[in-house]
A and B are shown apart, each in its own frame.
Chain A
Amino acid sequence: MSILTVDNLRVERGGTSVLDIPHFILEEGETLAILGPNGAGKSTFLLTLARLLSFSQGELRFRGEDVSLPEVAIPYRRRLAVVFQEPLLLNATVFNNVAAGLKIRRMGKTEIEKRVTKYAELVKITHLLKRDARKLSGGEAQRTNIARAFATEPEMILLDEPFANLDAPSREALIDDVHVILQQMGTTAILATHDRLEALRLADRLAVMEGGRIVQSGTCHEVMNYPVNEVVASFVGMETIFSGVVRRVNDGSFTIDVSGRSIEALGHVEAGERVDCCIRPENIIISTHPVGEGTSLRNNLSGKIVKIAPQGPFYKIHLDCGFFLSSYVTPQSRENLCLQEGKEVTVSFKATAIHVLRREKG
């Protein structure tokens, strides 16, 4: 059952359109992650959905009810919760902060006591309840913020890059806890983020936004592996993008000529077409075996390591096989294979790992 439907939503700022959503549906109980670079319109979208930003045209329906009317703004907002990137806590104790939404709803003292205790426990800040909110660390503050949001037992929760300001260990811990809470409570959630790993951990569905529009939405697997264009591709981490001309077409597979190399891929294309393709770095295997030996992967190319850059816990290997590819290896593998810049290696990947982005008649 869809909890939220959006039709023809447009928001304009200074004459230009900053948000243009022809159609959008949110199903009850699901967690949707909205991915996109800065300025893509993620925050604008969330704020508009919460009716904190006014829109020039469009229809917003929550459980079938039209919530764009002014009279329903406040009752509608009281059924939601919004969590921002900054904790935005009040000048009071942690208890009073978590209770803030409840006090606004004029809840009774004992009821507030119960709710605050419950949610403080879920978010693991029970030991902080009596503390002055100004004296919390970044992670503790954001937890308080989240407790405050969940304490109102919202039907829908909107999170705008909530983990962006946290240091790595706090992030990790909090993402896990939020995941647990969302599952336990079954709250419908929308999470805006620019971090795809975060999105993957928490979300059932992904939507990618750019320039105020939703460019693609679908299950995580769909979006991550079948990006609809380059922008989405680079955002979901399909960093290797190359183009070539289709040489031969077989039943369900084809060969592309990319900078003089032959690449085999699967799909339905026509000979002579120009195609853009992409591959996820995880699907590119580096080995020191000579080409042709020891692998069952269709595509094996010789290439040279152009650059090795540390990338968090991994190393990103930039390769030149006549065209550029990138792959990730663990420090262990790097050591085992003695990878260094300038080394000649074999680069392999499956035909199924290649995804065609765009085709043009040749």
Chain B
Amino acid sequence: MKTRKRSRFITALIISTILLSGLFRPVMAAEMKSVILATTTSTQDSGLLDVLIPQFEKNTGYFVKTISVGSGQAMAMGQKGEADVLLVHSPAAELKLVASGVGINRRLVMHNDFVIVGPSDDPAKVKGLKSTREAFKKIASSGKLFLSRGDNSGTHAKEKEVWKAAGINQEKEKWYQQTGLGMGQTLNVAAEKKGYTLADRGTYLALKKTLGLEILNEGDAILLNIYHVIEINPAKWPKVNAAGGKAFADFMLSRQTQDVIKTFGVDKFGGALFFPDAGKKVEDLGK
């Protein structure tokens, strides 16, 4: 009857009010002191930030919104002032950002490296080659399948750098396939199709046991993946949380954080995923 319908309606309204109120508290609290950190999916996927961010939040009381996207998007967010601080690893693009005056205080944080992984039977025979350029040349000449992320990420940028250095025009080749996916997924595709790919060591190690791919080439200086933290210039973009961005950058370079970086991944993967480099010069790395 009518009264029953009414009471049901009221119950529904009450439930929705509860739903609503549940959402408002985090929203209001967060807007007080939030920092938008733009970083890359591979950085996020390594799990390092899952350890560091809570520590930073505890120390400073800031609320960090980690937006992990492809390198290209991260840089674009910085360029448009939609992020407060960047943690990225695309040196060429980074330099452009700094040159434009939007990126300031670009500081070296850490590095890890890329490796070439592929099927254990190594049909293109790249294992043990000292020069990664040589390895790429061999893959090209053997026409064996190579998977690229193709998403303008840091990894993709690095990969293109090596192809260029090796003097190979790989874009239109049939053995060159672009997935447009993140690192983890690209590795899976490579495993499925028994092809080669360039991956950051961290993601590879994390997925190693399920993949069935092996590291076939490593160590060349060109494979270094170097991370910088860049703050966004409040003079160019007044709405950025400059104080928060700086606090995060300083945190990444602090003694304590650098120690955490040094030991990250050792117990889980048997080796460190990153190498802390605060205060060093880029040219000195990898030596």
Contact = CB atoms under 8 A, between A and B. Distances in A.
Q: In the complex they form, do A and B come into direct contact, defined as C-beta atoms under 8 angstroms apart? A: yes
Interface of A: 103, 106, 109
Q: What 4 pairs across the A-B complex have the smallest Cβ distances? A: A103-B2, A109-B1, A103-B1, A106-B2
A106 B1 CA distance: 11
Contacts of A109: 1
Interface in B1-60: 1-2
4 contacts: A103-B1, A103-B2, A106-B2, A109-B1
Nearest to A109: B1
Contacts of A106: 2
Contacts of B1: 103, 109
B3 to A, nearest CB: 10
Contacts of A103: 1-2
A98 B2 CA distance: 15
A33 B1 CA distance: 37
A109 B2 CA distance: 11
A202 B54 CA distance: 87
A100 to B, nearest CB: 11
A80 to B, nearest CB: 22
A271 to B, nearest CB: 75
A106 B3 CA distance: 11
A357 B2 CA distance: 59
B6 to A, nearest CB: 12
A109 B1 CA distance: 9
A352 to B, nearest CB: 62
B5 to A, nearest CB: 11
A103 B2 CA distance: 8
Nearest to A99: B1
Contacts of B2: 103, 106
Nearest to A103: B2
Nearest to B2: A103
A109 B4 CA distance: 13
A103 B4 CA distance: 13
A103 B1 CA distance: 9
A96 to B, nearest CB: 9
Nearest to A96: B1
Interface string B156-189: 0000000000000000000000000000000000
A103 to B, nearest CB: 6
Nearest to A106: B2
A94 to B, nearest CB: 16
B213 to A, nearest CB: 62
Nearest to B3: A109
A185 to B, nearest CB: 27
A176 B129 CA distance: 106
A103 B3 CA distance: 11
B89 to A, nearest CB: 64
B1 to A, nearest CB: 7
